[in-house]
Amino acid sequence: MGLHVALYQPEIPPNTGNIARTCLGTGTSLHLIHPLGFKIDDKTLRRAGLDYWKHVDVHEHESFEALHSSWPNAEFYYIENYGTSYLTDVDFNRPDRDIFLVLGKETTGIPHELLVGKEDRCLRIHMNDQIRSLNLSNACAIAIYEVLRQQGFPNLK
């Protein structure tokens, strides 16, 4: 059982590289849902992930549906600015389940039609109304650390 981050069609290599580095540092698996807006061997992706990329637990999925079918017993949460609840409202202390935090592409997020019937799993991050959204890698780090905080930072110093 563990924590997973899934990026739906990420577009900006440095964001994915930064997220990969955070995943490695926290023991979080990274899942990339195709199509990607870059190649995995992109220099800017590797630069942001530094020399850590080869150690990251990365999984690739051809579609949103393929991710879900690969992990049928996992709990999925979707970090979106149109979420109906806040990230901090959810009890993530679930050692018996894999938890997935799914974040959408930088320009458009996760399409609403993919979240039909999952609205209660769409979560917001607290922020004021001066911006539309946070940077993807920042939002991801906030979400990862909230889950880990609730779990008592397992296996972290």
The annotation places the binding site for S-adenosyl-L-methionine at 79, 104, 125, 133
Binding residues: 79, 104, 125, 133
Residue 6's DSSP bridge partners are 31, 102
85-107: string of b/e by CB count within 10 Å (b at 16+)? eebeebebeeeeeebbbbbbbbe
Residue 110 CB burial class (10 angstroms; 0-12, 13-18, ≥19): buried
Whole-number CA gyration radius for the chain = 15
